[in-house]
A and B are shown apart, each in its own frame.
Chain A
C-alpha cells in the first residue's frame, strides 16, 4: 500500500496538501490503495478531509490511530444536548453565535464554544473556577465525541492533554513544561498501547513509532514524503518496500534562476544527509529533474505529475469577461503583479472582472492587496473570495475565461491544470518549471516574459475580445488537461514508481 506522509490537512490548505489529497484519491480510484497520513492533532480533520474531497478511509491520522477513532462516523453534537451539562443545576445561555455560557446562580462556571461554520454544535467545553480562570477544557471532535481533556498551568497556558478513546479511556498524554525557560511540549506518552506504555520527548519520535506500526502491518509499504520537514522521520522508518520524496516546490534559494542559488535547507535531508535512506526523489517536470541530476548525479530523480483531475468539464459564459487568479496570496505568487496587469487590462476591456481565489498568509498582506486595489481604482472590478474547498472552487472555475500565473516559479501548476480542465486558457510568465510543461505559447494560452504585466494584459485582452482565438486556445487547453486525468496520470505514476 501507499502512504503519503504529511503534517496535517488544514482548513486552508496549500498546494502541497491539495496535491497530496488528489493523488490519494487518484490512487484509490485507480485501484492502488493509498492513505493520506498526517501527524498533527486535528479534531476538525474529518471536516477538512471533506474540503479536499477525501473519504475518512483514505486518511490515517496519528492521533486518530492511537485513539482508535479512525472509523468513527459523524454524529452532530448540539451543545444543548451535551449529556455532561446538568441542566437541572446550571443554565446554558447563548452569548454569541460562537459560544454559550454555563452559569450557576448567575455566575459563569463554564463555556461551550461552537464549531466554526455550524449552528450550535460543540467544539469544546471549558470549565472555569470562581475567579473565571480556565481550569479544564474538553475538546470535541467534529464527529461528535469527546476527544481530549486539557489542564492548564496557573499562568493560563495548557499544561497537559489527555487523548481519549471513543469510550473515554485515556490512551495518550501530552505534557507542556519549560526547557531552558521556554514553554514547549516535552512529553508524549502512549498508555497501555498493546499492553505497554511508551514515552517520547518529541512528537516526531511518536510519529516515527506510529509509521513503524503502519509498516509493520504491511509488507508492501511504499512511503512518499510530501512535507519535507518530516523527511528525517521518514528516513528512519523500517520495513518499507520503498521510500520517495515528492517535491511540490522549486528546490533552489533562487527559484527564478534555479541553476544559480543553493539548495533550500528543507530539502537537504533527502538530497544530502539522509539521501541513502530514500529510493529517490519525484518531481513534476523533466526540467526540474534535469537540474537536480546536474547537482546530484547519483540521485534517482523521476517525473510524475503533481496533480490529476477526475475529468474535464463544460465551460459556462459569465456576465462579464472574467480573469482568474488561483493560489495563495503569498509573495512567491506575486498577486500584486496580477493586480497591476488588471489595471492595464481594464483600459482595454472596461467590463472585465478579476476574481482571486486563495488566502493571504497574514492580515497585513490582505490589507496591502486591498490598498493596491483602491489605489488602482479597481474596487468594482476585483474581488477576493474567501478560501474555498475543492467542491466550491469547481463552480467558480466553470465561468472563468482566462487564468493568469504571476508566480516567481512553479514546480508544476495545479491551478493551471484545473482551469484548463474547464477549457480556460492560461497566460503565464515565462518561469520555471511548470509553465514550460503546461503552457504552449499561442496554442493553449500565451507565455509572456517574467514581470511583463503590460504584455500579459495585452494577451489577456486578446483572449477576452477575440472569440475565435479564445475558442482555439480553450479547446487546446482542455486537451492539455486531459493528459492529467486519473487514468493517464496514474499510468505516469506507475511507470515512475517501477
Chain B
C-alpha cells in the first residue's frame, strides 16, 4: 500500500494538503490505491476529506484507527439525544449553544452546536456543586470521541479517546512540569490495543505515531507490494519512519525549498527539513517537485537515498482542455494571489510592487486570497496593511480570506503574483494566468516560463 502521511487535513488547506489531494486525483485517474494518513485528532475530519473526494475507506486517522472508528455510520447528535442524568431540566437557547439547568437553576451542561441543524459539537458538563468536570467532543459522524477531564483549578488533567462503544482506548495525561512556570504539560500516553486489550505507555505522541505506523505496516504487509510511506509533513514522522519495527519503503517529500529560497547552499537549511536532510541516507527516497531542487539536493548532500522529481501540481485533463476565458471577460488589471498571509510569502513586497503598477494603471486591483498566519501577532498582515496605507491602496487591495473557489477568482483575473521565498513549485496559478514572480532557484524562471507557455497555449 502507498501511504501519504500528514498531520492535518483542514478545510483551510495549505500547499502541502493541495499537493496531496492533487496526487490523489492522479492516483485515482490511474486506478492506483492509496491511503491518506492523517495523524492529528480532528472531530471534523470527515466532512473535509469527503468534500475533497477522499472516501472514508481511503482515509486513516491515527486516533480513529485506534478508536476503531474509521468507517462508521453518520448519526449526528442533537440536544434531544443527550442524557445528562438529571430529571426535569430546562434549556436556554443561545446562538451556538444550549444551556441546560436543573429545576433550581443550577447549570448542568453547556451544549455547543454547529450548523443550522444544531448538531452537537461538544458538551461542557458540571457536577452538582457547579464544578466543570469534563468537556466531551463529538465527531461530526455523531459518536463521543474525546473526554477532557478537568482539574479543580480548571485545567485539563486527562484526555480520554473512546471507541464508538464508549471504551477508553487512548489516554493523554498532563502533569506539573518540573519547571513550575510551565504549568501542566503532557507527560504520557496510554494505548489500549483494540485487537487484544494489551496496554502500552508512551512518553510522546511521536512514540505513539511509530506504534501506529508499525500497525499499518503489519496490517498492509505484502511481499509483492511492499508498503510505501510518503511523508508529506516532516514533523509527523521524520524520526518515526526511521524506527519502524519491520521494513517499508520510506519517502520524504520536500514541499518547500530545502534551504533559503535564494541560495540552495545556504548554511542554515529550512528548519522543517533539517532532520530529514541530516539523516538523508536513512530514507529510501527523497522527492522534490523540480529537477532543479533534486539537482541542488544531490549537489549538496550526495545522498545514497534515491532522488525523484515529481511535480506536485497536476493539471486535470478537463482543465487543460477547458475553453479559454477571454481577456475581455476578465476584470482589467486584476491580479490575484492564493497564499497564506504569512511572512515567507512576502506579500508586503508583492503589494509594494503592485503599488508601482497601480500608479500607471489606476484601474489595477490586487486580491489576496488566503488565511492569516498569526505568527508574531499577525505580523505579515500588518506589514501588508502598512504598504496599503503608505500608498493609499485601500480601494485597490483586498484581503479576500480563504477560498475554496479558486476557479472563479482566477477566471476573473489577468495576473498572478508570486513573492514567496520558500516555494518548491507554485501550485495553482500557472494553469491559467501569467505569473509575475521573483527569480528563484527552485522554481526557476525557466521552469515557470515553460509552464506559462503551456498554460497560455492550452488556454
Residue of chain B at shortest CB distance from A109: B201
Give chain A's interface residue range (CB within 8 Å of chain B).
35 or more
Task: Let me know if A96 is at the binding interface, CB within 8 A.
Answer: no
Question: Would A159 and B158 count as touching, CB distance under 8 A?
Answer: yes
A residues in contact with B188, CB < 8 Å: 127, 129-130, 135
Given A129-B187, A187-B127, A187-B133, A196:B83 Cβ within 8 A: yes
Question: Would B149 and A186 count as touching, CB distance under 8 A?
Answer: no
A177 to B184, alpha carbons, bound, how many Å?
18
A199 to B131, alpha carbons, bound, how many Å?
14
Segment 72-96 of B: residues with Cβ below 8 Å from A = 83-86
B residues in contact with A190, CB < 8 Å: 85
Task: Let me know if A154 is at the binding interface, CB within 8 A.
Answer: yes
A150 to B149, alpha carbons, bound, how many Å?
12
Task: Let me know if B167 is at the binding interface, CB within 8 A.
Answer: yes
Segment 201-237 of A: residues with Cβ below 8 Å from B = 201
Question: Would B167 and A168 count as touching, CB distance under 8 A?
Answer: yes
B133, B151, B201, most chain A CB atoms within 10 A: B201
B residues in contact with A67, CB < 8 Å: none
A190 to B83, alpha carbons, bound, how many Å?
11
Given A149-B168, A151-B171, A159-B149, A83:B203 Cβ within 8 A: no
Question: Would A128 and B201 count as touching, CB distance under 8 A?
Answer: yes
Question: Would B167 and A170 count as touching, CB distance under 8 A?
Answer: yes
Residue of chain B at shortest CB distance from A173: B134
Question: Would B133 and A84 count as touching, CB distance under 8 A?
Answer: no
Looking at the assembled complex, report how far the CB atom of A441 sits from the nearest CB atom of chain B, in whole angstroms. 58
Question: Would B84 and A199 count as touching, CB distance under 8 A?
Answer: yes
Looking at the assembled complex, report how far the CB atom of A156 sits from the nearest CB atom of chain B, in whole angstroms. 9
Residue of chain B at shortest CB distance from A176: B152
Task: Let me know if A375 is at the binding interface, CB within 8 A.
Answer: no
Question: Would A196 and B85 count as touching, CB distance under 8 A?
Answer: yes
Residue in B83, B128, B149 whose beta carbon sits within 8 Å of that of A201 in the complex = B128
Task: Let me know if B103 is at the binding interface, CB within 8 A.
Answer: no
Residue of chain B at shortest CB distance from A128: B201
Task: Let me know if B174 is at the binding interface, CB within 8 A.
Answer: yes
Question: Would B201 and A169 count as touching, CB distance under 8 A?
Answer: no
Segment 148-170 of B: residues with Cβ below 8 Å from A = 149, 151-152, 155, 157-158, 160, 165-168
Looking at the assembled complex, report how far the CB atom of A200 sits from the nearest CB atom of chain B, in whole angstroms. 8
A residues in contact with B160, CB < 8 Å: 151
A89 to B211, alpha carbons, bound, how many Å?
12
**What is the number of contacts between chain A and chain B, taking CB atoms within 8 Å?**
116
Segment 40-85 of B: residues with Cβ below 8 Å from A = 83-85
A178 to B129, alpha carbons, bound, how many Å?
9
Q: A54-87 vs B: 1/0 string, CB under 8 Å? A: 0000000000000000000000000000011110
Task: Let me know if B200 is at the binding interface, CB within 8 A.
Answer: yes
Task: Let me know if B198 is at the binding interface, CB within 8 A.
Answer: yes
Question: Would B157 and A153 count as touching, CB distance under 8 A?
Answer: yes
Residue of chain A at shortest CB distance from B171: A136
Question: Would B166 and A169 count as touching, CB distance under 8 A?
Answer: yes
A85 to B192, alpha carbons, bound, how many Å?
10
Looking at the assembled complex, report how far the CB atom of B237 sits from the nearest CB atom of chain A, in whole angstroms. 20
Question: Would B151 and A153 count as touching, CB distance under 8 A?
Answer: yes
Residue of chain B at shortest CB distance from A185: B127
Q: B313-357 vs A: 1/0 string, CB under 8 Å? A: 000000000000000000000000000000000000000000000
A197 to B82, alpha carbons, bound, how many Å?
10
A86 to B202, alpha carbons, bound, how many Å?
14
Task: Let me know if B398 is at the binding interface, CB within 8 A.
Answer: no
Residue in A109, A149, A187, A197 whose beta carbon sits within 8 Å of that of B128 in the complex = A187
Task: Let me know if A183 is at the binding interface, CB within 8 A.
Answer: yes
Task: Let me know if A198 is at the binding interface, CB within 8 A.
Answer: yes
Task: Let me know if A110 is at the binding interface, CB within 8 A.
Answer: yes
Q: A117-148 vs B: 1/0 string, CB under 8 Å? A: 00000000001111101011000000000000
Question: Would B174 and A85 count as touching, CB distance under 8 A?
Answer: no
Task: Let me know if A179 is at the binding interface, CB within 8 A.
Answer: yes
Task: Let me know if A175 is at the binding interface, CB within 8 A.
Answer: yes
Given A153-B157, A187-B127, A190-B85, A127:B199 Cβ within 8 A: yes
A residues in contact with B184, CB < 8 Å: 154
Residue in B108, B128, B168, B199 whose beta carbon sits within 8 Å of that of A84 in the complex = B199
Question: Would B166 and A135 count as touching, CB distance under 8 A?
Answer: no
Question: Would A179 and B129 count as touching, CB distance under 8 A?
Answer: yes
Looking at the assembled complex, report how far the CB atom of A55 sits from the nearest CB atom of chain B, in whole angstroms. 31
Residue of chain B at shortest CB distance from A199: B85
Residue in A131, A160, A187 whose beta carbon sits within 8 Å of that of B175 in the complex = A131
Residue in A89, A133, A168, A177 whose beta carbon sits within 8 Å of that of B131 in the complex = A177
A residues in contact with B157, CB < 8 Å: 151-154, 159
What are 21 sample pairs from A and B whose C-beta atoms fall under 8 A apart?
A83-B197, A85-B198, A104-B201, A127-B199, A128-B201, A135-B158, A135-B171, A151-B157, A151-B160, A151-B171, A152-B157, A152-B158, A160-B149, A160-B158, A168-B167, A175-B133, A178-B131, A186-B127, A186-B128, A186-B131, A189-B85
Q: Which 4 A-B pairs have the closest CB atoms?
A: A201-B128, A129-B188, A197-B85, A199-B85
List chain B positions with a Cβ less than 8 A from chain A: 83-86, 108, 127-129, 131, 133, 149, 151-152, 155, 157-158, 160, 165-168, 171, 173-176, 178, 184, 187-188, 190, 192, 196-201, 203
List chain A positions with a Cβ less than 8 A from chain B: 83-86, 89, 104, 109-110, 127-131, 133, 135-136, 149, 151-154, 159-160, 162, 168-170, 175, 177-179, 183, 186-187, 189-191, 196-201
Instruction: With A170-B167, A177-B133 given, name 9 new contacts (CB 8 A).
Output: A83-B196, A131-B175, A131-B178, A149-B168, A153-B152, A154-B184, A177-B127, A186-B129, A196-B85
